[in-house]
Amino acid sequence: MSSNIVAVGLSNNLAVDVIIIMFIYIEKVLTKHATFVRERKMKNKLVVAAVGVIVVAASLVLEGCECRTVQFIFGDSLSDVGNNKYLSKSLAQASLPWYGIDFGNGLPNGRFSNGRTVADIIGDQMGLPRPPPFLDPSLTEDDILHNGLNYASGGGGILNDTGTYFIQRFSLYKQIELFEGTQELIREKIGKEEADKFFKEARYVVALGSNDFINNYLMPVYRDSWTYNDDTFIQYLIQTLRAQLTALHALGARQLMVFGLGPMGCIPLQRVLSSSASGGCQQRTNTLALSFNKAAAKLMDDLGKQLANSSFRFGDAYDVVSDVISNPNKYGFENSDSPCCSFGRIRPALTCLPASRLCKDRSKYVFWDEYHPTDSANQLIANELINKFGFLRLNQSSSSPSPSPSPAN
């Protein structure tokens, strides 16, 4: 084991204390035995040599991995923070105005919202740094050690076939494959022992599944739509998810949360496609979401018992989101059935475009575009999960900002 790796476990302050103690000890021992001038000269030479050794040791300690707790996020467009903008052929993009208008400098950043994601907000609350997108070409191993990584990809799903008409996207299987590659890089950087510790102490979020219904099973062009019925398709999804989560555990994931599905039959897109004359929610789609959540919750409970040293939890905010949609005024919203960013009366526009019109007050809308919630709605969802699970603050400080949405005039 190299000196770098031996020193990794020490904090910078502790390392400095150890170095000072070493220096004082050497000074006292050498002074005690230096009774002659010749010996004093030898002592001085030894002190200089000792200082050199200590300086080298200090540099090794200070350059070691601090190994603070970070996040690794797997998901779809609800958690994507920029991976798809590096997929040049992907049709699932959030790289045009007005995406990101209430985040940082107000320019598109790859998030499919006007502001933050639910994972952003929960991570901020826990003092965790916001993990950058995996495909960011400027990333280094040190960036990963300090911030973690986000593999989420708009259009991705639990199944490999989900979202194929987006052309490019990362399925959960692909995201896990990319995570394996990340582990190899970190092992080369800090060694296997410290890398294993780093990944076991990290927090993991898996947030996807809606595309497996909306952009797969519920679309006649997909084979799954006529291969399965509602019950057998959910069984297929859960069986696949079980294998994926078990694989993540084998790769070191010990603290993991799976986000449940919301009432996806009530997103603006589904309302437009509804057979209801009033443009109401699609009840079958909502029933599928509830059935998936029930099965996924049981899966997480089972895995938490079966997999060693694991804390696998299921984050379900379906009820509160459903109540927000049914009673928006109760939560400070004014609109819960149409997008803030839309292309006039042409709907569904599917995405927010530079020529789109924005609502007057983004904080009063539940939905940003045809698919995705606003920053304000994401804040409410995150608060529900934070209150439900009582997330503790893990890091005392975080470099991640927490922007708040500013109303449009």
Known catalytic residue at 77: yes
In DSSP terms, 75 is beta-bridged to 207
The single-letter code of the amino acid at 342 is: S
Distance CA 403, CA 375 (A): 9
Of 369, 375, 376, 398, which one is the catalytic site residue? 369
Whether 284 and 226 have beta carbons less than 8 Å apart is answered as no
What is the Rg, in whole angstroms, of the alpha carbon atoms belonging to the chain? 26
Q: Which amino acid is at 74?
A: F
In degrees and rounded to multiples of 5, residue 159 shows phi and psi of -90, 145
Give me the residue label for tokens 């901020």. Answer: 124
Query: Is 372 known to be catalytic?
Result: yes
What's the Cα-to-Cα distance from 102 to each of 117, 158, 222, 375, 377, rounded to whole Å? 12, 30, 36, 8, 13
- Alpha carbon distances (Å) from 58 to 14, 63, 171, 352: 11, 8, 44, 53
Q: Cα angle vertex 148, ends 145, 151, to 5°?
A: 140
Q: Which two tokens stand for residue 34?
A: 């230096």
Q: Confirm whether 369 is a catalytic residue.
A: yes
The percent of the chain in helix, strand and coil, each rounded to the nearest 5, is 50, 10, 40
How far from 293 is each of 49, 172, 298, 345, 372, CA to CA, in Å?
65, 18, 9, 34, 19
Secondary structure (DSSP) of 26-81: HHHHHHHH--SHHHHHHHHHHHHHHHHHHHHHHHHHHTS------EEEEESTTT-S
Q: Which of 90, 153, 322, 372 is catalytic?
A: 372
Residue type, position 291, single letter? S
Please list the active-site residues.
Answer: 77, 369, 372
